């Protein structure tokens, strides 16, 4: 966290500060992305994963807040690479762009408010135990439905719901939580999408089950179909199905591919399952720039 992009320029991280009166701080009127950069030591290269896709989603999220980001996607890509380069980390990083209502003003609404765009980054390793799998609870909190908050947008305000689910998991001695949609279908984790393997078929809930359209979700679907020749379907399912799954795993930029080995008191499969393991191997080779076939997912920084 040496440098950030703030108010149109790269500045020392400590200078990137906002007022306590900032609209987004008071009312949650911001949106953001979480992006990973993977350091490849042999190639002395940093690869940013699906950078364009993340900025496409950010621009969509920003639209729901009536924020127009004043940079094009290619400009955002360049800006991000410049900032990562200037920070100089030779390790994996997590990149956080934000677009938010920056005006110091009391009062709700989205019209006639100044907005701003910022980026910071930090070194970032494993977020969950992806080798041994994690135990998760079923959250009492439901995901916010698209008729309450726009679907598909990664909005700061929505993350109070995610934080409640995560906190509930930790309070109860679990690592993560699975949340349900407003209709009672399995939706996703607190900040990750969910996949279930049943009789060799991979099933994941459809976007209509109140989930964030994950970029890793699509990447994993592509790997499962193209590299493992598996059938992947989007289909709603109820929580009871979780307990009978052969394998369960989360996907997300932060969690990468995290096998779930226990839901509430029930063990799933026999530890980390073979499909999750194969997908992890494929995914990590791809994001570290070791598989030429998937170099198209990556933006090299150097």
Written as six digits, the tokens of 240 are: 């009871």
Q: Binding of ligand PMP at residue 29 (CB under 6 A)?
A: no
- Give the SS3 label for residue 10: strand
Q: What is the DSSP string of 211-237?
A: ----HHHHHHHHHHHHTT--EEEE---
Q: Which of 1, 13, 34, 243 binds ligand PMP (CB under 6 A)?
A: 34
Question: What's the number of CA atoms in the CB half-sphere (13 Å) around residue 219?
Answer: 29
d(CA 80, CA 92): 15
Q: Which of 87, 216, 261, 299 binds ligand PMP (CB under 6 A)?
A: 216
Q: Residues 137-166: x/- map of binding to ligand PMP (CB under 6 A)?
A: -------------------------x----
Q: 246 burial class (0-12, 13-18, 19+ CB within 10 angstroms)?
A: middle
d(CA 4, CA 86): 9
The minimum distance between CB 265 and ligand PMP, in angstroms, equals 25
The minimum distance between CB 267 and ligand PMP, in angstroms, equals 25
Written as six digits, the tokens of 218 are: 């699509």
154 catalytic? Reply is yes
**Closest by CA position to 284, among listed 299, 298, 301:** 298
Q: Binding of ligand PMP at residue 227 (CB under 6 A)?
A: no
Span near ligand PMP by CB under 6 A; candidates 6-14, 59-67, 101-109, 211-219:
211-219
Written as six digits, the tokens of 263 are: 């839901």
Span near ligand PMP by CB under 6 A; candidates 77-85, 115-123, 207-215, 268-276:
207-215
Q: Binding of ligand PMP at residue 193 (CB under 6 A)?
A: yes
Q: Which of 214, 269, 273, 289 binds ligand PMP (CB under 6 A)?
A: 214
Which residues, 72 to 111, sit near ligand PMP by CB under 6 A? Answer: none
Span near ligand PMP by CB under 6 A; candidates 62-70, 104-112, 248-256, 270-278:
248-256
Q: Which of 92, 168, 188, 209 binds ligand PMP (CB under 6 A)?
A: 188
Q: Residues 51-70: x/- map of binding to ligand PMP (CB under 6 A)?
A: --------------------
Residue pair 221/232 in contact (Cβ under 8 Å)? The answer is yes
Q: Binding of ligand PMP at residue 273 (CB under 6 A)?
A: no
Residue pair 260/134 in contact (Cβ under 8 Å)? The answer is yes
Q: Binding of ligand PMP at residue 212 (CB under 6 A)?
A: yes
Rg, the chain, Cα only: 19
Written as six digits, the tokens of 78 are: 């360049």
Q: Binding of ligand PMP at residue 252 (CB under 6 A)?
A: yes
Residues forming beta bridges with residue 250, ordered by sequence position: 194, 258
Residues forming beta bridges with residue 35, ordered by sequence position: 95
Q: Binding of ligand PMP at residue 192 (CB under 6 A)?
A: yes
Q: Which is nearer to ligand PMP, 3 or 120 (CB)?
A: 120
Q: Which is nearer to ligand PMP, 36 or 288 (CB)?
A: 36
Residues in the chain, total: 302
- Give the SS3 label for residue 280: helix
Residue pair 141/168 in contact (Cβ under 8 Å)? The answer is yes
The minimum distance between CB 84 and ligand PMP, in angstroms, equals 18
Of the candidates 50, 101, 154, 166, the residue annotated as catalytic is 154
Q: What is the set of active-site residues? A: 154
Q: Which residues bind ligand PMP (CB under 6 A)?
A: 34, 162, 188, 191-193, 212, 214-217, 251-253
């Amino acid at each position: 966290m040496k440098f950030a992009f703030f108010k149109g320029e790269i500045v020392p991280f400590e200078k990137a500060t906002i007022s306590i009166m900032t609209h987004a701080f008071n009312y949650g009127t911001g949106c953001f992305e979480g992006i990973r950069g993977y350091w490849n030591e042999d190639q002395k290269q940093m690869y940013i994963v699906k950078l364009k896709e993340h900025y496409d989603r950010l621009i969509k999220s920003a639209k729901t807040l009536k924020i127009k980001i004043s940079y094009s996607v290619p400009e955002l890509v360049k800006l991000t690479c410049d900032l990562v380069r200037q920070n100089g980390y030779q390790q994996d990083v997590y990149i956080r762009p934000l677009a938010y209502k920056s005006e110091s003003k009391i009062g709700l609404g989205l019209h006639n408010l100044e907005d701003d765009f910022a980026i910071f980054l930090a070194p970032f390793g494993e977020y969950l135990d992806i080798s041994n799998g994690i135990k998760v609870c079923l959250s009492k909190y439901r995901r916010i439905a698209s008729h309450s908050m726009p679907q598909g947008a990664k909005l700061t305000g929505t993350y109070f719901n995610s934080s409640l689910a995560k906190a509930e998991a930790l309070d109860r001695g679990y690592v993560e939580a699975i949340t349900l949609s407003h209709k009672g279908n399995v939706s996703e984790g607190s900040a990750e999408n969910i996949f279930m393997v049943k009789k060799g078929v991979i099933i994941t809930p459809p976007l209509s089950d109140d989930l964030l359209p994950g970029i890793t979700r699509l990447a994993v679907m592509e790997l499962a179909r193209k590299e493992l020749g598996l059938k992947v379907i989007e289909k709603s399912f109820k929580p009871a199905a979780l307990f009978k799954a052969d394998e369960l795993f989360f996907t997300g930029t932060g969690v990468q591919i995290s096998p779930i080995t226990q839901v509430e008191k029930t063990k799933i499969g026999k530890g980390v399952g073979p499909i999750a393991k194969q997908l992890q191997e494929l995914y990590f080779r791809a994001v570290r720039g070791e598989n030429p076939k998937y170099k198209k997912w990556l933006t090299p920084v150097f």
